[in-house]
Amino acid sequence: MDLKEYVFLGKELKDTYVVDVHIHVGGSTRYQKPGNDADSVVYTMDRVGVDVVCASCSPGAYCDWKWGNEMCADAHEKYPDRIKAYAVVNPHYTFDLDAYFANSDRFLGLKVIPFVQGTLPIDCPGLQPYYEYADKYGLPVLFHAWMASEVKDATAVAKRYPNARFIFGHSGFTAFEESVAACKQCDNVLLDTTISDTYDGALERLVNAVGVDRVAFGTDLTAFECSHILGRILLSRLSDTDKEKILGLNAKQFLKL
Amino acid sequence: MLNFIDARCQLGRRGIVREGEPVTKSDILELMDRCSIEKAIAYHAMAKEGDMKAGNDLLLQETEGDERFIRQWCAMPSTFGEFMGAEELAEQMKKHHVSSIRLFPKTHGYSVKPYAMGKFMDVMAQCHVPVFLTYAECGSEDNLYSLLSSYPEVNFIISDASYRENRKLFPLMEQCKNLLLGTGNFVVHGGVKLICDYFGAERMIFDTGLPMGSATAAVALICYAEISEEEKQLIAHGNIERLLADVKL
Ligand SMILES: [Zn+2]
């Protein structure tokens, strides 16, 4: 069965390995975020056929990182094969990352989103120790990379820390030129497909520009749905082989899952 | 397999086109075919962005003899001779097989309060003409409430509510039974099922916003919703078919 047929049947992707590199657990005071707990996430994963998600905690990004990171690690511990956890870091605080990563697989990598922490730049001094740590241990780092300036900063970080692996969230659709430049300059960069709203043809344009190996499925679940982004991939003009790379194979390799 | 009727499609040349975006009618038809969209309710870009009368005329030309598109005109409450009056509009719509109207109050610079909409809406109500507009074009939730509650007999299809609007949208849907939600960009986690559970599948109308919006995303949102086949059929085409069958021009 063609991958696109799954959409019309509303059928979960049973025989395709699917990894969502960018989701969120936890609520929001800013807007209603239904089904943001670990059980609801796994329920949705089963509904559409996602094997693994990589999650950070939204309230942990905005304020209490300690509470948020524990919540995220708990989600991983409840569903160790389905939910992987990013630890949110915050440039206003000092983190003992050994407490998170040494001799433990509670966390997969780091989530960096200084945009909601006083709109500090991604390349700010307060974050350098965490990039150094990621570089030393080859950890993945998920950036919130929306604006062109954020993507330029993220590119500078990716160049400086070549042993760390960086996922640029959103940027392939919001800062196209800068994202293409990042992929050309840095082998350790992957772009995700996370976007609430874009046009048909945007994904094909991105894949043509950076190559299919540099794009991975990401959705922002539970900040919003995941099925519409799945639809953009499954009903795109790409081949099923390319769709499978984006849906899971690229992330599997990049994140060493 | 679900067949869709898209309740929000724009034809014609627009000012801004992003690289790789559909442009021509055949680009749009290719996407409709790919996404199992049988028909689309279409207005003309010129009627939104350039000249309303010229755009509505262009729509008639572009859709002449084409059964894939259901004609929609852009309109505004006739303000001192600028646009045809409501009765003439209804006559012209009947003559040219135009079955619904789309409003752009924000873009076109007028108020949706009853003092400005007045007789125009009364005629739309008499003729059972469905009125389409986007959430953002209303300007505010209070404007939207004023419009919807002042004309309870008119069915309003409100589209492009984002995933951040539930706290404003849900009380509106509860109070105003004439608010039907366009599903295109309503990407709340489990949102389609939420609306079905709270308000019923009768309150949603499938739309895409093509060519600027995404048909592939809009279709998947309905297909993967955790609702019954009957509910999907209503959202995909049943509800809009019912509204259009009820038009009395
Ligand atoms: Zn995110």
Domain boundaries, given as residue ranges, for chain A: 17-255
Q: Which residues are paired to B41 by β-bridges?
A: B70
Rounded distance between C-alpha atoms, residue A132 and residue A135, angstroms = 5
A224 to B189: CB separation less than 8 angstroms, yes or no: yes
Coil vs helix vs strand at B156: strand
Coil vs helix vs strand at B11: strand
Rounded distance between C-alpha atoms, residue A181 and residue B228, angstroms = 46
The nearest CA of chain A is from the CA of B231 a distance in Å of 13
Contacts of A231 in chain B (CB under 8 A): 214, 216-221, 223-224
Q: Max alpha carbon distance in chain B (Å)?
A: 50
pLDDT confidence band for A95 (50 / 70 / 90): very high
Taking phi over 0 as left and psi of -120 to 50 as alpha, with beta for the rest, A110 belongs to: beta
B215 to A48: CB separation less than 8 angstroms, yes or no: no
Q: Which two tokens stand for residue A185?
A: 């300059």
Burial label for B109, CB within 10 Å (0-12, 13-18, 19+), is: exposed
Every domain of chain B and the residues it spans:
4-245
Tell me: the pLDDT tens digits for A7-30? Answer: 999 999 999 999 999 999 999 999
Question: Domain A17-255: what homologous superfamily?
Answer: Metal-dependent hydrolases (3.20.20.140)
Q: Which CATH number fits domain B4-245: 3.90.100.10, 3.40.190.170, 3.20.20.140, 3.40.190.80?
A: 3.20.20.140
Backbone φ, ψ for residue A215 (5° rounding): -125, 135
Nearest to A199 among B1, B18, B190 (CB): B18
pTM over 0.95? The answer is yes
Give the residue from B170, B171, B165 showing the smallest Cα distance to B185: B165
Distance (Å) from CA A139 to ligand 1 centroid: 19
Per-residue confidence (pLDDT) for residue B118, from 0 to 100: 86
Tell me: the pLDDT tens digits for A202-257? Answer: 999 999 999 999 999 999 999 999 999 999 999 999 999 999 999 999 999 999 99
The set of residues, in sequence order, having a beta carbon less than 8 Å from that of A246 and lying 6+ positions away, is A193, A207, A212, A215, A216, A217, A233, A238
The nearest CA of chain A is from the CA of B210 a distance in Å of 8
- Average pLDDT over chain A, rounded to whole? 97
Q: Which two tokens stand for residue A80?
A: 């160790």
Q: Which two tokens stand for residue B4?
A: 């869709």
Tell me: the pLDDT tens digits for A100-159? Answer: 999 999 999 999 999 999 999 999 999 999 999 999 999 999 999 999 999 999 999 999
The set of residues, in sequence order, having a beta carbon less than 8 Å from that of B127 and lying 6+ positions away, is B90, B247, B248, B249
Q: Which residues are paired to A20 by β-bridges?
A: A53
Rounded distance between C-alpha atoms, residue B155 and residue B241, angstroms = 13
- Classify residue B210 by its DSSP letter: B
Contacts of A36 in chain B (CB under 8 A): 189
